[in-house]
Amino acid sequence: MHPSVYRAKVEKQKGRHNSVTVEVFLQGGAPWGFTLKGGLEHGEPLIISKVEEGGKADLLTSKLQVGDEVININNVELSGYRQEAITLVKGSYKTLKLLIRRYEIWSR
């Protein structure tokens, strides 16, 4: 069985930016294969800053991408603080569910 499952749905278009919400399920326990940066304490969105080559997050059908914004972890809506997100990720035992927002810029 593949260690990860990927599912995506498209949100409504916002101006010249198209936002896609991606629901990601990782299985098998840590390490999960990605790094977070930003957060409200830094005045930035909470984003994926690195995806480890060959790691669980890299083995997804559609890989996590640097710049993906994390908005929910294990069905917990995030307040935006990095430490909160790290605590939720570290508290995940065998499965980790992420809801991320990916922006694609439309050119005219």
The total number of structural domains that make up the chain: 1
Determine the length of the chain. 108
Q: Which domain holds residue 75?
A: 4-105
CATH code for the domain in which residue 35 is found = 2.30.42.10
**CA distance linking residue 62 with residue 14, whole number of Å:** 23
DSSP secondary-structure letter at 60?
S
DSSP secondary-structure letter at 82?
H
- For 10-54, the pLDDT digits (tens) are 444 455 568 889 899 999 999 999 999 999 999 999 999 999 999
- Note the pTM of the prediction, 2 decimals: 0.80
> 73 and 89 in contact (C-beta within 8 Å)?
yes
